[in-house]
Copies of this chain bind each other. A is one copy, B any other.
Amino acid sequence: MGTKTVIVGGDAAGMSAAAQIRRVAPSAEVVVFEKTNYASYASCGMPYYIAGDIASHEDLLALSAQEIADRGIDVRYGHAVEEIRPGARRIAGRTRSGQPFGETYDHLVLATGGTAVRPPWWSELEGLFTLRSLEDGIALRTFIDEHRPRRAVVIGAGFIGLEMVESLARRGLEVTLVGRSPHLLGDFDRTFAAPVYDAMRHCGVALNLAQSVQGLAGDSGRITHVETDVERLQADMVLVATGLEPSAGLARAAGLAMGRSGAIAVDDQMQTSRTGIWAAGDCVEVKHVVSGEKVHKPLALTANRTGRIAGDQVGSAVVGRSSAQRFRGTAGSLITQVLDYGLAQTGLSLGEARRAGFDAVSFEREGRSRARYYPGSKPLKTRIVVERRTRRLLGAQMVGEEGVVGRIDALATALFARMTVDEVHHLDLAYAPPFGPVYDAIIDVCGKAALEL
């Protein structure tokens, strides 16, 4: 059909868009510019690759280079796009070897992703890492294999920080976790998630929470110490995992509208403010299903999904149809494995709910993963956040050794359906002694809320 789509970025969102365009419009020309040497990789698997659970980084590739080519997608590796000229429908950039390149397009999809935050005290020292691209992951694993560091400091107690604490501890390193918040994962305080704090300490992990990093120190270009406001920590390697900011510079420079979060503004079909340009993945902000606000929640499912929606739009435009696909909201649903525990959340935390203007209150309850009398039954803690007046469920957190993932998903489903705690309390969930008590943890905690509200 002679229609060319250029996609900037070849990770989850970009490759989802590319694949969907080819699915909808099999003859469409699709060119993906990827600044690293890898496309379509499972970044969430990197902590397990670094731990050694996964033998090769190639296991993390969702599609091999050959499979990508077989799908008719032309990926240009090592190509960093540096400029978009929407008027000319043209992009330009430079390869890793410094060669300039340019390309025209009919449709453009920006899937530029996010960038690991580099705090003001960042400095270029050997042994200092962030973990964002597969190349970051390979560099980190290679460093451990070659240098056999003894002491690691992980800065940031979000899910990447927590997963990497475990990963590094299992590689035999002495690990210190430094977090600015007194809590793990933002909202998992010492009381709610006590067994997780205990398990980390039992593994020899030092928890330096409620501390802020002041600077780094090095010797002969290699990192040696992390200075916090409380102490000076020895370190043979340091991972900075303090967040992800949207890589929106290209879009901003091209004059596209930005959202309040600093990410690219898009509608629910991933259209930017400029006709013919879509954006998807960690570089965009999307609607939160509970608050209705536009938020920057860079998570894998949203990246894949928004990429697919953008691709469906473009593919449909190519074949002259219209696409019904639209993004229906993020709940910020998240789960992470820390040692034997699953920690999960969906919707708003109590603090987020109050900041969003809800008169919110929270309820906690300890349930069990199996019937009380059934062998192997484990505690399962649930906290829910509820709007007082409407009794609507606004969010939830769970922690436990088993049975967390599906239950948080049931609560996420309830958020999308705007259920009240009374409605969740009366759900008919599946019961058998090996899987829970008759009144499941989520029924039970909503019953407590229904009674006490």
Contact = CB atoms under 8 A, between A and B. Distances in A.
A329 interface: yes
Interface stretch (A100-108, A128-136, A186-194, A336-344): A336-344
Interface residues of A, number: 69
A405 B406 CA distance: 7
Given A159-B432, A409-B410, 8 more contacts: A163-B432, A330-B428, A344-B430, A405-B435, A412-B429, A413-B414, A413-B424, A414-B417
Contacts of A336: 432
Contacts of A54: 373-375
B426 A305 contact: yes
A339 to B, nearest CB: 11
A122 interface: no
B417 A413 contact: yes
B334 A433 contact: no
A296 to B, nearest CB: 14
Interface stretch (A40-48, A67-75, A144-152, A195-203): A40-48
A434 B51 CA distance: 13
A335 interface: yes
A48 to B, nearest CB: 6
Interface string A303-314: 011000000000
A428 B335 contact: no
Nearest to A297: B428
B412 A409 contact: no
Interface string A385-417: 000000000000000000111111110111011
Contact of A434 (B337, B431, B435): B337
Interface stretch (A29-37, A207-215, A436-444): A436-444
A430 B334 contact: yes
A335 B371 CA distance: 13
Contact of A300 (B53, B419, B438): B438
A277 interface: no
18 contacts: A42-B433, A44-B431, A44-B432, A45-B373, A53-B375, A54-B375, A289-B428, A301-B438, A329-B426, A333-B430, A335-B432, A337-B432, A337-B434, A405-B406, A408-B430, A409-B440, A413-B413, A416-B417
A367 to B, nearest CB: 13
A299 interface: yes
The DSSP consensus for interface residues of chain A is mixed
Nearest to A434: B337
Interface in A60-113: 60
Nearest to A330: B428
A342 B405 contact: no
Nearest to A45: B433
Contacts of A410: 406, 409-410, 412-413
B48 A374 contact: yes
A405 B436 contact: yes
A165 interface: no
A45 B289 CA distance: 40
- Residue among A44, A336, A410 having the largest count of chain B Cβ atoms under 10 Å: A410
Contacts of A179: none
A328 interface: yes
A50 to B, nearest CB: 13
A374 B45 contact: yes
A236 B436 CA distance: 34
